[in-house]
Amino acid sequence: MLEIPKFYESFLSKVSNVNLNSPRQLKKVAEIVAAMSEYFTRKNLRKEFVFYDYLSNGEVQKGYLVYFTTTNLLKVYVPLNEISHSGFFRGKKKLEILDIGTGLGTVVMGTIIWMHENIRYFRNTEVKFVALDKVEQNIRKFQENLEFFLNELRNHYSETIKVEVEPAIFDIEHAFEMFDKRFDLITVANTLNEVVYEKRNKLLRLINSGIKDDGFVILIEPALMITSRDLLDFRDKMIKQGFYIYSPCLRNSNCPALETDKDWCHTEVEWKRPEFIRQIDLVAKNYRKTLKFSYIVATKKDMNLIDFVAGERNFKDYFRVVSQLIVEKGKKHCFVCNEIGRLHCVKLDRVDSPQNQIFDEIDRYEIITMKNFVKSDKEIKITQETEVKKVLNNEGKI
Ligand SMILES: C[S@@+](CC[C@H](N)C(=O)[O-])C[C@H]1O[C@@H](n2cnc3c(N)ncnc32)[C@H](O)[C@@H]1O
Protein backbone atom coordinates (compact mmCIF):
# COMPACT_ATOMS: atom_id res chain seq x y z
CA MET A 1 0.00 0.00 0.00
CA LEU A 2 1.34 3.46 -0.90
CA GLU A 3 2.10 5.71 2.04
CA ILE A 4 3.24 9.31 2.46
CA PRO A 5 6.31 9.60 4.72
CA LYS A 6 5.68 11.28 8.06
CA PHE A 7 7.98 14.26 7.44
CA TYR A 8 5.68 15.45 4.65
CA GLU A 9 2.96 16.37 7.15
CA SER A 10 5.23 18.60 9.20
CA PHE A 11 6.46 20.24 5.98
CA LEU A 12 2.87 20.78 4.83
CA SER A 13 1.75 22.22 8.09
CA LYS A 14 4.68 24.69 8.11
CA VAL A 15 4.19 25.99 4.58
CA SER A 16 0.39 26.11 4.61
CA ASN A 17 0.02 27.53 8.12
CA VAL A 18 -2.66 24.93 8.73
CA ASN A 19 -2.56 22.85 11.88
CA LEU A 20 -3.36 19.43 10.42
CA ASN A 21 -4.59 18.26 13.83
CA SER A 22 -7.11 21.06 14.22
CA PRO A 23 -10.64 20.03 13.12
CA ARG A 24 -11.66 23.70 12.98
CA GLN A 25 -8.82 24.65 10.61
CA LEU A 26 -9.35 21.53 8.49
CA LYS A 27 -13.03 22.37 8.15
CA LYS A 28 -12.09 25.71 6.60
CA VAL A 29 -9.75 23.99 4.15
CA ALA A 30 -12.48 21.46 3.36
CA GLU A 31 -14.88 24.22 2.38
CA ILE A 32 -12.37 25.55 -0.16
CA VAL A 33 -11.68 22.00 -1.39
CA ALA A 34 -15.41 21.34 -1.85
CA ALA A 35 -15.77 24.48 -3.97
CA MET A 36 -12.66 23.61 -6.01
CA SER A 37 -13.84 20.04 -6.59
CA GLU A 38 -17.11 21.39 -7.91
CA TYR A 39 -15.20 23.51 -10.42
CA PHE A 40 -12.80 20.72 -11.37
CA THR A 41 -15.45 18.08 -11.97
CA ARG A 42 -18.38 20.03 -13.48
CA LYS A 43 -17.73 20.15 -17.19
CA ASN A 44 -19.23 23.59 -17.78
CA LEU A 45 -17.48 25.18 -14.78
CA ARG A 46 -14.16 23.44 -15.32
CA LYS A 47 -13.13 25.36 -18.42
CA GLU A 48 -13.78 28.72 -16.84
CA PHE A 49 -11.88 27.77 -13.70
CA VAL A 50 -8.76 26.25 -15.21
CA PHE A 51 -8.23 29.05 -17.69
CA TYR A 52 -8.15 31.61 -14.91
CA ASP A 53 -4.89 31.24 -12.94
CA TYR A 54 -6.70 29.81 -9.95
CA LEU A 55 -3.55 28.83 -8.05
CA SER A 56 -2.46 32.45 -7.75
CA ASN A 57 -5.36 33.05 -5.31
CA GLY A 58 -4.02 32.60 -1.72
CA GLU A 59 -6.95 30.61 -0.29
CA VAL A 60 -7.24 28.39 -3.34
CA GLN A 61 -3.49 27.83 -3.19
CA LYS A 62 -3.80 26.69 0.43
CA GLY A 63 -6.63 24.28 -0.44
CA TYR A 64 -4.67 22.92 -3.40
CA LEU A 65 -1.52 22.47 -1.38
CA VAL A 66 -3.09 20.76 1.62
CA TYR A 67 -5.55 18.56 -0.25
CA PHE A 68 -4.79 18.13 -3.95
CA THR A 69 -1.00 18.08 -3.64
CA THR A 70 -1.26 15.42 -0.94
CA THR A 71 -3.77 13.27 -2.81
CA ASN A 72 -1.70 13.54 -6.01
CA LEU A 73 1.78 13.23 -4.50
CA LEU A 74 2.16 9.45 -4.70
CA LYS A 75 0.65 8.90 -8.13
CA VAL A 76 4.01 9.31 -9.85
CA TYR A 77 5.33 6.31 -7.84
CA VAL A 78 3.47 3.88 -10.09
CA PRO A 79 4.99 4.93 -13.44
CA LEU A 80 8.39 5.35 -11.76
CA ASN A 81 8.19 1.83 -10.31
CA GLU A 82 7.28 0.55 -13.76
CA ILE A 83 10.14 2.41 -15.47
CA SER A 84 12.61 1.08 -12.89
CA HIS A 85 12.12 -2.49 -14.21
CA SER A 86 13.87 -1.44 -17.43
CA GLY A 87 17.07 -0.63 -15.51
CA PHE A 88 16.79 3.00 -16.63
CA PHE A 89 17.72 4.52 -13.27
CA ARG A 90 20.71 2.27 -12.63
CA GLY A 91 24.15 3.88 -12.68
CA LYS A 92 23.12 7.31 -13.97
CA LYS A 93 25.56 10.08 -12.98
CA LYS A 94 23.11 12.80 -13.95
CA LEU A 95 19.36 12.72 -14.32
CA GLU A 96 17.68 15.71 -15.92
CA ILE A 97 13.93 16.01 -15.51
CA LEU A 98 11.51 18.50 -17.06
CA ASP A 99 8.24 18.89 -15.17
CA ILE A 100 5.64 20.65 -17.31
CA GLY A 101 2.87 22.43 -15.36
CA THR A 102 4.68 22.23 -12.02
CA GLY A 103 2.11 24.25 -10.08
CA LEU A 104 3.02 23.87 -6.42
CA GLY A 105 5.47 21.08 -7.17
CA THR A 106 3.47 17.89 -6.58
CA VAL A 107 5.37 15.78 -9.11
CA VAL A 108 8.79 17.19 -8.28
CA MET A 109 8.29 16.48 -4.57
CA GLY A 110 6.70 13.07 -5.23
CA THR A 111 9.63 12.11 -7.47
CA ILE A 112 12.20 13.31 -4.92
CA ILE A 113 10.54 11.22 -2.20
CA TRP A 114 10.33 8.18 -4.51
CA MET A 115 14.05 8.53 -5.26
CA HIS A 116 14.85 8.55 -1.55
CA GLU A 117 12.66 5.50 -1.01
CA ASN A 118 14.66 3.86 -3.82
CA ILE A 119 18.04 5.29 -2.85
CA ARG A 120 19.90 2.23 -4.21
CA TYR A 121 19.56 3.64 -7.75
CA PHE A 122 20.55 7.20 -6.91
CA ARG A 123 23.56 7.11 -4.55
CA ASN A 124 25.84 8.53 -7.24
CA THR A 125 23.28 10.53 -9.20
CA GLU A 126 22.94 14.29 -9.45
CA VAL A 127 19.31 15.14 -10.08
CA LYS A 128 18.25 18.31 -11.81
CA PHE A 129 14.65 19.37 -12.35
CA VAL A 130 13.43 22.13 -14.62
CA ALA A 131 10.07 23.26 -13.20
CA LEU A 132 7.98 24.81 -15.96
CA ASP A 133 4.77 26.76 -15.43
CA LYS A 134 3.08 29.72 -17.05
CA VAL A 135 2.14 31.25 -13.68
CA GLU A 136 5.12 32.86 -12.01
CA GLN A 137 3.47 32.96 -8.55
CA ASN A 138 3.07 29.17 -8.60
CA ILE A 139 6.73 28.59 -9.28
CA ARG A 140 7.84 31.22 -6.77
CA LYS A 141 5.61 29.68 -4.08
CA PHE A 142 6.96 26.25 -4.94
CA GLN A 143 10.55 27.47 -4.69
CA GLU A 144 9.80 28.98 -1.29
CA ASN A 145 8.20 25.72 -0.11
CA LEU A 146 10.97 23.59 -1.57
CA GLU A 147 13.52 24.82 0.97
CA PHE A 148 11.30 23.64 3.84
CA PHE A 149 10.62 20.40 1.99
CA LEU A 150 14.30 19.60 1.46
CA ASN A 151 15.14 20.48 5.07
CA GLU A 152 12.48 18.12 6.42
CA LEU A 153 13.55 15.46 3.92
CA ARG A 154 17.20 15.70 4.98
CA ASN A 155 16.21 15.20 8.61
CA HIS A 156 14.10 12.18 7.69
CA TYR A 157 16.44 10.15 5.45
CA SER A 158 19.91 9.12 6.54
CA GLU A 159 21.24 9.32 2.96
CA THR A 160 20.19 12.13 0.64
CA ILE A 161 20.52 12.83 -3.06
CA LYS A 162 21.93 15.99 -4.61
CA VAL A 163 18.88 17.78 -6.04
CA GLU A 164 18.66 21.07 -7.92
CA VAL A 165 15.50 22.76 -9.21
CA GLU A 166 15.57 25.45 -11.88
CA PRO A 167 12.42 27.42 -12.74
CA ALA A 168 11.20 28.03 -16.30
CA ILE A 169 8.30 30.41 -16.66
CA PHE A 170 6.52 30.26 -19.96
CA ASP A 171 3.23 29.36 -21.53
CA ILE A 172 3.51 26.21 -23.60
CA GLU A 173 0.55 27.32 -25.71
CA HIS A 174 2.63 30.23 -26.93
CA ALA A 175 5.98 28.50 -27.03
CA PHE A 176 7.83 29.19 -30.23
CA GLU A 177 11.19 28.12 -28.97
CA MET A 178 11.82 24.67 -27.69
CA PHE A 179 14.47 23.82 -25.13
CA ASP A 180 17.92 23.49 -26.64
CA LYS A 181 18.52 20.80 -24.07
CA ARG A 182 17.07 17.29 -23.89
CA PHE A 183 15.81 15.52 -20.79
CA ASP A 184 15.97 11.99 -19.41
CA LEU A 185 12.48 12.26 -18.03
CA ILE A 186 9.57 14.56 -18.82
CA THR A 187 6.58 14.63 -16.47
CA VAL A 188 3.22 16.29 -17.14
CA ALA A 189 0.61 15.83 -14.42
CA ASN A 190 -2.90 17.24 -14.26
CA THR A 191 -1.92 19.79 -16.88
CA LEU A 192 -2.89 18.35 -20.29
CA ASN A 193 -6.53 19.11 -19.51
CA GLU A 194 -5.66 22.75 -18.86
CA VAL A 195 -4.13 23.20 -22.30
CA VAL A 196 -6.77 24.09 -24.90
CA TYR A 197 -7.34 21.17 -27.26
CA GLU A 198 -6.13 23.01 -30.37
CA LYS A 199 -2.84 23.90 -28.63
CA ARG A 200 -1.97 20.40 -27.46
CA ASN A 201 0.13 19.87 -30.59
CA LYS A 202 2.51 22.47 -29.09
CA LEU A 203 2.78 20.41 -25.94
CA LEU A 204 3.48 17.35 -28.05
CA ARG A 205 6.17 19.18 -30.02
CA LEU A 206 7.77 20.37 -26.80
CA ILE A 207 7.84 16.83 -25.44
CA ASN A 208 9.04 15.39 -28.74
CA SER A 209 11.94 17.79 -29.07
CA GLY A 210 12.79 17.74 -25.36
CA ILE A 211 13.06 14.03 -24.67
CA LYS A 212 16.31 12.08 -25.05
CA ASP A 213 16.31 9.07 -27.39
CA ASP A 214 16.36 6.72 -24.40
CA GLY A 215 14.23 8.95 -22.14
CA PHE A 216 10.76 8.42 -20.68
CA VAL A 217 7.67 10.64 -20.69
CA ILE A 218 5.10 10.33 -17.90
CA LEU A 219 1.64 11.83 -18.28
CA ILE A 220 -0.86 11.69 -15.43
CA GLU A 221 -4.46 12.91 -15.54
CA PRO A 222 -7.52 12.65 -13.30
CA ALA A 223 -9.61 9.49 -13.72
CA LEU A 224 -12.67 11.45 -14.85
CA MET A 225 -14.13 10.22 -18.13
CA ILE A 226 -13.37 13.46 -20.00
CA THR A 227 -9.78 13.97 -18.78
CA SER A 228 -8.92 10.29 -19.10
CA ARG A 229 -10.22 10.09 -22.68
CA ASP A 230 -8.28 13.25 -23.52
CA LEU A 231 -5.14 11.52 -22.27
CA LEU A 232 -5.88 8.45 -24.41
CA ASP A 233 -6.37 10.71 -27.41
CA PHE A 234 -3.00 12.35 -26.68
CA ARG A 235 -1.49 8.86 -26.35
CA ASP A 236 -2.65 7.97 -29.86
CA LYS A 237 -1.20 11.25 -31.16
CA MET A 238 2.14 10.45 -29.50
CA ILE A 239 2.26 7.12 -31.34
CA LYS A 240 1.71 8.96 -34.63
CA GLN A 241 4.72 11.14 -33.72
CA GLY A 242 6.92 8.06 -33.34
CA PHE A 243 6.55 7.33 -29.62
CA TYR A 244 6.08 3.84 -28.20
CA ILE A 245 3.88 3.19 -25.20
CA TYR A 246 5.90 1.60 -22.40
CA SER A 247 2.99 1.29 -19.98
CA PRO A 248 0.19 0.73 -19.04
CA CYS A 249 -0.64 -0.59 -22.53
CA LEU A 250 0.46 -3.95 -23.87
CA ARG A 251 0.02 -2.68 -27.40
CA ASN A 252 1.37 0.07 -29.61
CA SER A 253 -1.67 0.48 -31.82
CA ASN A 254 -4.65 2.79 -31.20
CA CYS A 255 -6.38 2.78 -27.82
CA PRO A 256 -9.45 0.52 -28.04
CA ALA A 257 -11.24 2.46 -25.27
CA LEU A 258 -11.70 5.26 -27.82
CA GLU A 259 -13.48 2.94 -30.27
CA THR A 260 -16.70 3.60 -28.33
CA ASP A 261 -17.73 6.89 -26.78
CA LYS A 262 -18.38 5.50 -23.31
CA ASP A 263 -15.10 3.88 -22.26
CA TRP A 264 -12.06 5.28 -20.54
CA CYS A 265 -9.12 3.75 -18.70
CA HIS A 266 -7.71 4.38 -15.23
CA THR A 267 -6.02 2.73 -12.33
CA GLU A 268 -7.07 2.62 -8.68
CA VAL A 269 -4.33 2.13 -6.10
CA GLU A 270 -4.66 1.59 -2.35
CA TRP A 271 -3.01 4.17 -0.12
CA LYS A 272 -2.82 4.85 3.58
CA ARG A 273 -5.05 7.91 3.61
CA PRO A 274 -3.66 10.43 6.12
CA GLU A 275 -6.03 11.32 8.95
CA PHE A 276 -6.24 15.00 7.91
CA ILE A 277 -7.32 13.97 4.39
CA ARG A 278 -9.98 11.69 5.89
CA GLN A 279 -11.30 14.63 7.90
CA ILE A 280 -11.37 16.94 4.87
CA ASP A 281 -13.11 14.19 2.87
CA LEU A 282 -15.86 13.97 5.47
CA VAL A 283 -16.70 17.66 5.07
CA ALA A 284 -15.95 18.05 1.35
CA LYS A 285 -17.61 14.69 0.51
CA ASN A 286 -14.75 13.76 -1.78
CA TYR A 287 -13.70 10.37 -0.41
CA ARG A 288 -10.15 9.74 -1.64
CA LYS A 289 -10.08 6.30 -0.08
CA THR A 290 -8.02 5.11 -3.02
CA LEU A 291 -5.90 6.93 -5.61
CA LYS A 292 -7.62 6.90 -8.98
CA PHE A 293 -5.85 8.27 -12.03
CA SER A 294 -5.00 7.68 -15.67
CA TYR A 295 -1.38 7.60 -16.79
CA ILE A 296 0.77 6.94 -19.82
CA VAL A 297 4.49 6.21 -19.99
CA ALA A 298 5.98 6.72 -23.46
CA THR A 299 9.46 6.39 -24.98
CA LYS A 300 11.16 6.94 -28.33
CA LYS A 301 12.62 3.43 -28.20
CA ASP A 302 10.50 0.38 -28.90
CA MET A 303 10.36 -0.76 -25.28
CA ASN A 304 7.48 -2.11 -23.27
CA LEU A 305 7.21 -2.91 -19.58
CA ILE A 306 6.26 -6.48 -20.48
CA ASP A 307 9.72 -7.00 -22.08
CA PHE A 308 11.19 -6.76 -18.58
CA VAL A 309 8.37 -8.32 -16.58
CA ALA A 310 7.96 -11.37 -18.84
CA GLY A 311 11.51 -11.41 -20.23
CA GLU A 312 10.10 -11.26 -23.78
CA ARG A 313 7.79 -9.14 -25.95
CA ASN A 314 4.51 -10.93 -25.49
CA PHE A 315 1.35 -8.95 -26.29
CA LYS A 316 -0.80 -12.07 -26.65
CA ASP A 317 -0.70 -14.03 -23.38
CA TYR A 318 -0.21 -11.06 -21.04
CA PHE A 319 -3.03 -8.62 -20.30
CA ARG A 320 -3.58 -5.38 -18.38
CA VAL A 321 -6.77 -5.62 -16.30
CA VAL A 322 -8.63 -2.44 -17.23
CA SER A 323 -11.72 -2.67 -15.03
CA GLN A 324 -12.55 -3.84 -11.58
CA LEU A 325 -13.52 -7.48 -11.11
CA ILE A 326 -17.31 -7.69 -11.22
CA VAL A 327 -18.71 -10.44 -9.02
CA GLU A 328 -22.19 -11.70 -9.89
CA LYS A 329 -24.19 -14.77 -9.03
CA GLY A 330 -22.50 -17.69 -10.75
CA LYS A 331 -19.74 -15.71 -12.47
CA LYS A 332 -16.92 -13.19 -12.22
CA HIS A 333 -15.87 -10.95 -15.06
CA CYS A 334 -13.73 -7.96 -16.01
CA PHE A 335 -12.15 -6.23 -19.02
CA VAL A 336 -8.57 -6.92 -20.04
CA CYS A 337 -6.49 -5.25 -22.73
CA ASN A 338 -3.54 -6.07 -24.98
CA GLU A 339 -2.67 -6.24 -28.68
CA ILE A 340 -5.75 -8.40 -29.33
CA GLY A 341 -8.04 -5.64 -28.04
CA ARG A 342 -10.14 -4.60 -25.08
CA LEU A 343 -11.77 -7.89 -24.20
CA HIS A 344 -14.51 -8.97 -21.86
CA CYS A 345 -13.12 -11.81 -19.77
CA VAL A 346 -15.57 -14.17 -18.08
CA LYS A 347 -15.16 -16.96 -15.58
CA LEU A 348 -18.15 -19.03 -14.50
CA ASP A 349 -17.97 -20.28 -10.92
CA ARG A 350 -18.49 -23.83 -12.11
CA VAL A 351 -15.14 -23.85 -13.95
CA ASP A 352 -13.22 -23.03 -10.74
CA SER A 353 -9.92 -24.88 -10.64
CA PRO A 354 -6.58 -24.48 -8.85
CA GLN A 355 -4.92 -23.08 -12.01
CA ASN A 356 -7.51 -20.35 -12.63
CA GLN A 357 -8.28 -19.53 -8.97
CA ILE A 358 -6.10 -16.38 -8.94
CA PHE A 359 -8.58 -14.73 -11.33
CA ASP A 360 -10.95 -14.33 -8.34
CA GLU A 361 -8.44 -12.00 -6.66
CA ILE A 362 -7.39 -9.72 -9.49
CA ASP A 363 -7.40 -5.94 -9.15
CA ARG A 364 -7.74 -3.16 -11.68
CA TYR A 365 -4.47 -2.42 -13.53
CA GLU A 366 -2.63 -5.54 -12.52
CA ILE A 367 -0.89 -7.43 -15.31
CA ILE A 368 -1.91 -11.05 -15.59
CA THR A 369 -0.95 -13.87 -17.90
CA MET A 370 -3.45 -16.42 -19.17
CA LYS A 371 -2.89 -19.63 -21.10
CA ASN A 372 -5.40 -22.08 -22.62
CA PHE A 373 -8.37 -19.72 -22.74
CA VAL A 374 -11.12 -19.69 -25.32
CA LYS A 375 -11.39 -16.54 -27.40
CA SER A 376 -14.39 -15.53 -29.43
CA ASP A 377 -14.74 -12.12 -31.09
CA LYS A 378 -14.34 -9.66 -28.16
CA GLU A 379 -14.62 -12.17 -25.34
CA ILE A 380 -12.31 -14.47 -23.44
CA LYS A 381 -13.79 -17.47 -21.69
CA ILE A 382 -11.87 -18.97 -18.83
CA THR A 383 -12.14 -22.74 -18.67
CA GLN A 384 -11.09 -25.26 -16.05
CA GLU A 385 -7.82 -25.67 -17.98
CA THR A 386 -7.04 -21.94 -18.15
CA GLU A 387 -3.92 -21.01 -16.25
CA VAL A 388 -4.01 -17.52 -14.69
CA LYS A 389 -1.05 -15.82 -13.00
CA LYS A 390 -0.44 -12.30 -11.72
CA VAL A 391 2.86 -10.85 -12.88
CA LEU A 392 2.66 -7.21 -11.74
CA ASN A 393 0.60 -5.46 -9.08
CA ASN A 394 -1.02 -2.08 -9.65
CA GLU A 395 1.73 -0.24 -7.78
CA GLY A 396 4.01 -1.35 -10.60
CA LYS A 397 5.81 -3.95 -8.52
CA ILE A 398 6.57 -7.54 -9.48
C1 LIG B 1 -3.67 21.42 -11.95
S2 LIG B 1 -2.12 22.19 -11.90
C3 LIG B 1 -1.11 20.75 -11.75
C4 LIG B 1 0.08 20.99 -10.92
C5 LIG B 1 0.91 19.75 -10.64
N6 LIG B 1 1.50 19.22 -11.85
C7 LIG B 1 0.06 18.72 -9.94
O8 LIG B 1 -0.13 17.63 -10.50
O9 LIG B 1 -0.44 18.99 -8.85
C10 LIG B 1 -1.80 22.66 -13.57
C11 LIG B 1 -0.62 23.60 -13.70
O12 LIG B 1 -0.32 23.72 -15.09
C13 LIG B 1 -0.04 25.07 -15.38
N14 LIG B 1 -0.38 25.32 -16.79
C15 LIG B 1 -1.61 25.24 -17.36
N16 LIG B 1 -1.53 25.56 -18.66
C17 LIG B 1 -0.23 25.86 -18.91
C18 LIG B 1 0.47 26.31 -20.07
N19 LIG B 1 -0.18 26.53 -21.21
N20 LIG B 1 1.80 26.53 -19.99
C21 LIG B 1 2.46 26.32 -18.82
N22 LIG B 1 1.84 25.92 -17.68
C23 LIG B 1 0.52 25.70 -17.72
C24 LIG B 1 -0.95 25.85 -14.43
O25 LIG B 1 -0.48 27.17 -14.21
C26 LIG B 1 -0.91 24.99 -13.17
O27 LIG B 1 0.11 25.40 -12.31
363: domain CATH number is: 2.40.50.140
Are 290 and 210 in the same domain?
yes
Are 209 and 67 in the same domain?
yes
260 assigned to some structural domain: yes
ipTM above 0.90, yes or no: yes
243 assigned to some structural domain: yes
153 assigned to some structural domain: yes
43's enclosing H/E stretch is helix 43-50
Last residue of a domain, one of 279, 308, 337: 308
The total of structural domains in the chain comes to 2
Decide if pLDDT at 51 tops 60: no
Are 12 and 159 in the same domain?
yes
Decide if pLDDT at 43 tops 80: no
Is 233 buried (19+), middle (13-18) or exposed (0-12) by CB count in 10 A? middle
Residue 261 belongs to what domain range?
7-308
Decide if pLDDT at 165 tops 80: yes
C-alpha angle 341-344-348 in degrees, rounded to nearest 5: 145
List residues near ligand 1 (CB under 6 A): 55, 69, 72, 101-103, 106-107, 133-135, 138, 171-173, 189-191, 194-195
pLDDT band at 285 (very low <50, low <70, confident <90, very high): confident
- Span 296-319, average pLDDT: 97
Are 157 and 125 in the same domain?
yes
Are 20 and 100 in the same domain?
yes
Last residue of a domain, one of 262, 287, 308: 308
The pLDDT value recorded for residue 341 is: 95
Closest CA to 135 of 50, 15, 255: 50
pLDDT digits (tens, 9 = 90+) for 346-371: 999 999 999 999 999 999 999 999 99
Closest ligand 1 atom to the C-alpha of 69?
9
Residue 289, classed as helix, strand or coil, is coil
398 assigned to some structural domain: no
164 assigned to some structural domain: yes
Q: How many CB atoms lie within 10 A of CB 316?
A: 12
Are the C-beta atoms of residues 211 and 300 closer than 8 Å to each other?
A: yes
Decide if pLDDT at 50 tops 70: no
Are 237 and 361 in the same domain?
no
Are 157 and 282 in the same domain?
yes
Are the C-beta atoms of residues 126 and 94 closer than 8 Å to each other?
A: yes
To test the ligand 1 pocket, which listed residue (67, 188, 194) has its Cβ within 8 A of the most ligand atoms? 194
